[in-house]
Amino acid sequence: MEFDRELDARGLNCPLPILRCKKALAELNPGQVLKIVATDPGSVKDFPAFCKQTGNELLSFSEADGEYVYFMRKRA
């Protein structure tokens, strides 16, 4: 999937991945896509909840070898 910016949140625990994501999204234009790579298992619940609360769109989620990859589109 194409993306406009990547956020490396590996090794960070809650709430840091969400806080860094929020900051990265603030720097994007509406409709742009942020790729997030995290290792915190809590992010599996945190990112969908964050999107639901903020109106951003979670485009996809995948997990492999203890890394969680999210693609999120900034709300218009």
Give the CATH number for residue 21.
Answer: 3.30.110.40
Number of structural domains the chain divides into: 1
The reported pLDDT for the residue numbered 20 is 97
CA angle 25, 69, 27 (to 5 degrees): 10
Mean pLDDT of 15-34: 97
The reported pLDDT for the residue numbered 46 is 96
The reported pLDDT for the residue numbered 8 is 98
Domain containing residue 54 = 5-58
Report yes or no on 29 lying in a domain: yes
42-14-38-26 Cα dihedral, nearest 10 degrees: 120
Mean pLDDT of 11-23: 96
Question: Tens digit of pLDDT for each residue in 47-71?
Answer: 999 999 999 999 999 999 999 999 9
Q: Which residues are catalytic?
A: 14
Report yes or no on 36 lying in a domain: yes
Report yes or no on 21 lying in a domain: yes
31 secondary structure, DSSP code: T
Mean pLDDT of 14-26: 97
Report yes or no on 67 lying in a domain: no
The reported pLDDT for the residue numbered 59 is 98
